[in-house]
């Protein structure tokens, strides 16, 4: 595994300062803007910022960070204990290698990102959505996919149900997100399933400004997706998750946290509704008032 570039600091990680008796959390990030931004002008993604806030609230731990492609995460959990990743989806784990914290983020649902040309062939509903089920049940569709990536439960079930009609074009290694967007713009496949803020980030950076568009998915319109921190399913990982959950009680309502996610996750002009829904989702998932 490679260390991060100079834009990233391995918090407290020097031979002189490390206390060998101090508990350590090894964090992993992947090069997937705007979750994590590993190159460029040292701008931090919201995953970078969330992790930093959590680290500040866990001074009893020594923290270090490695850059790992998402496709290798499945094979990395056992290498360090605990290993943690700050931007997982809050749903039943897909294997027994990791456990999840309480929710730490809320995402608007995935949609379809496609080229303007392919979008012209799609049956767009009156509300601007497209039915993913209709699309993949009636046609062979080439789907760009990042190795190791899962979506929401609804979308994962649809992709499994109609897997004979979904031709996966899987991208792994570094620059995964940028890679699939470039391949899509070149017509290498038909669609991506992705968050709108991911495309917005690249458009804001001057990439793909008029080539690609986002279309909401009918089946998930109005839903939200909760995020969580994943840590190794081990005694050390369980202790880390307990510490993280304790910290999250204060972190999620702090100004620093809300500033960290506001630019990325909160729809412009819909801030009040977003934070109201976020607080409601936390209350429902945690079973307590916030």
- pLDDT at 13 (0 to 100): 35
Measured over the CA atoms of residue 149, residue 127, residue 263 and residue 104, the dihedral's sign is: negative
pTM, to two decimals: 0.84
Q: What is the pLDDT of residues 20-50, one digit of tens each?
A: 457 999 999 988 888 998 765 556 888 999 9
Cα–Cα distances in Å, from 236 out to 14, 20, 33, 68, 284?
Answer: 22, 16, 29, 21, 28
Mean pLDDT, residues 189-201 taken together: 92
- Mean pLDDT, the chain, rounded, equals 85
Confidence of residue 5 (pLDDT cuts 50, 70, 90): very low
Pairwise pLDDT comparison (1 vs 120), residue with the higher score = 120
Q: Give the Cβ contact number of residue 37 at 10 Å.
A: 21
Cα–Cα distances in Å, from 195 out to 14, 51, 109, 112?
Answer: 37, 20, 7, 8
Give the rounded percent of residues in the chain with a pLDDT score beyond 70.
88
Q: Is the pLDDT of residue 136 over 70?
A: yes
Cα–Cα distances in Å, from 31 out to 45, 67, 137, 165, 287?
Answer: 10, 7, 33, 30, 34
- pLDDT at 12 (0 to 100): 36
Mean pLDDT, residues 275-289 taken together: 77
Pairwise pLDDT comparison (237 vs 73), residue with the higher score = 237
């Amino acid at each position: 595994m490679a260390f991060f570039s100079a834009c990233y600091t391995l918090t407290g990680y020097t031979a002189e300062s490390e206390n060998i008796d101090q508990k350590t959390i090894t964090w992993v990030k992947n090069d997937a803007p705007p979750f994590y931004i590993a190159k460029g002008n040292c701008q931090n993604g919201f995953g970078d910022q969330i992790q930093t806030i959590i680290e500040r609230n866990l001074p009893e731990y020594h923290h270090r960070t490695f850059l790992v492609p998402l496709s290798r995460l499945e094979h990395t959990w056992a290498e360090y204990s605990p290993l943690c990743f700050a931007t997982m989806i809050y749903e039943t784990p897909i294997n027994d290698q990791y456990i999840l914290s309480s929710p730490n983020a809320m995402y608007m649902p995935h949609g379809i990102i496609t080229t303007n040309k392919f979008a012209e062939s799609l049956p767009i509903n009156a509300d601007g959505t497209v039915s993913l089920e209709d699309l993949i049940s009636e046609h062979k569709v080439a789907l760009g996919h990042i190795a190791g990536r899962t979506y929401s439960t609804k979308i994962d079930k649809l992709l499994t149900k109609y897997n004979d009609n979904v031709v996966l074009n899987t991208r792994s290694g570094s620059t995964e997100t940028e890679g699939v967007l470039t391949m899509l713009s070149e017509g290498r496949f038909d669609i991506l399933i992705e968050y709108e803020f991911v495309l917005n980030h690249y458009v804001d950076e001057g990439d793909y400004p008029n080539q690609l568009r986002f279309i909401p998915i009918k089946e998930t319109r109005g839903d939200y997706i909760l995020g969580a921190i994943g840590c190794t399913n081990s005694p050390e990982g369980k202790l880390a998750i307990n510490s993280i959950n304790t910290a999250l009680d204060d972190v999620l309502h702090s100004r620093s946290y809300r500033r960290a996610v506001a630019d990325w996750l909160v729809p412009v002009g819909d801030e009040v509704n977003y934070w109201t829904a976020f607080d409601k989702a936390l209350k429902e998932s945690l079973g307590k008032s916030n």
